[in-house]
Amino acid sequence: MLVANYKTTAQNNSLKESSDTSKVNIFIESVMGYISIEKEKYSITTFPTMDYNNESGLSLGFLSSIVLNDGNQNSNSKYYRPTTIIPALSYSTKKHLLIDADLLMYTKNEWFIGSRVISYKVPAFYFGIGKQTEKTIKLKQNTYGVFGGLLKAIGDLYYMGLSYDIGHVKNYGIDNLEISNKIKGYNGGWHVGLGLESRVDTRDDVIYPTKGNLFNLSIRSYFGNHKFYVTKLNLRHYRKIVSDKNILAFQTTWTISNGNVPFYKMPKLGGKSQLRSINNSNKYINYHNYLAQIEYRRQFAGRFGTVIFTGLGNSAEKLDKSYFEDIIYLYGLGFRFRLLKKDRLNFRLDVGMGDGEPTMFMTIREAF
């Protein structure tokens, strides 16, 4: 019996495209210098980071992602959630140190632990509270802390539990006593924030949601060297457009604080996960703020993707009409590269515009 062994033109083209994509992926991996290990129950990805600015000098470090698929899919919970751990470390030529570890853990007995541990020795800037009517002041800041939530699942979608924020801040570097006395919370100190947090989560995935909603509300009371209160509402919505290669993501947050709030604990608008056109998270701080952002995510063939995002936000001392005056608008573009085959964990590079010079962020996982 004669068996024919051939491939059609379409098959050949498909294999060629797959081969070409693999070659491009290998090239990207080599350029980025990252290492990826994928097993049935876990995956680990690590790659180097580099940054330069006048304040810190040249910073070198690494950023990692650990994803644990530890059998929670056999849980009675309707929505399976893998555990993710993202540690990062960098050190600069001017002796600025940054240690950061982010944990999202779902246990087999249906507890959720969302926690972040930080240790920063970095330059800080004080732009004033509210609109920038004061001269920018540079100082040095040492920050140590752990914050997050410990929640228990009630049913398939609802979580309820403890919200916490514990840490210490030391500010120094201003020799002018008159200036430092004007900065609310310049002396730093200990802060211990405890309260309640509730969460409703219908997302189909926590790493790269394609549909569903997230509702999160936390209320904390702080004591220590400063006594104050913070309430934060976070809403997210995800929707497919035709297929899961086209995702529309929306987020809005509202934060209210009152009491003796030090400047470094006031609600912020900027950062790698919020209004990404703001180059310093201390630039717009005040007792209250809100923001809304929307993002279109497009996944291309292979591991590549892109995003287009826009948003707005504002901060104010009081909940009055000033809350809706001089609103900050932003827009931007992003590049995505999928690090894992099993989980849609992306390396992201975002460039935000709309608030002065373009601002760039490089990290792992989506902004929201």
| Class of domain 9-364 (CATH, top level) | mainly beta
pLDDT, tens digit (0-9, with 9 covering 90-100), for 167-190: 999 998 887 777 788 888 998 999
pLDDT, tens digit (0-9, with 9 covering 90-100), for 232-251: 999 999 999 998 899 999 99
DSSP string of 204-216, one letter each residue = S-SSS--SEEEEE
pLDDT, tens digit (0-9, with 9 covering 90-100), for 254-270: 999 999 999 999 999 98
Q: What is the pLDDT of residue 218?
A: 97
Give the mean pLDDT of 157-168.
95
Least confident of 95-99, 130-134, 172-176: 130-134
Percent of the chain with pLDDT over 70: 86
CB neighbours of 337 closer than 8 A, spacing ≥ 6? 28, 32, 303, 304, 305, 346, 347
Q: What is the pTM of this model?
A: 0.82
Give the mean pLDDT of 55-81.
71
Least confident of 4-8, 288-292, 340-344: 4-8
Q: What is the pLDDT of residue 157?
A: 83
Q: What is the pLDDT of residue 136?
A: 84
Report the 10 Å Cβ neighbour count for 43. 22
For the stretch 32-38, contacts whose Cβ atoms lie closer than 8 Å and that sit 24 or more positions apart, written own/partner, are 32/337, 32/347, 34/339, 34/347, 36/339, 36/340, 38/340, 38/341, 38/342
More confident residue, 51 or 298: 298
The domain spans of the chain are 9-364
Residue 268: DSSP 8-state: B
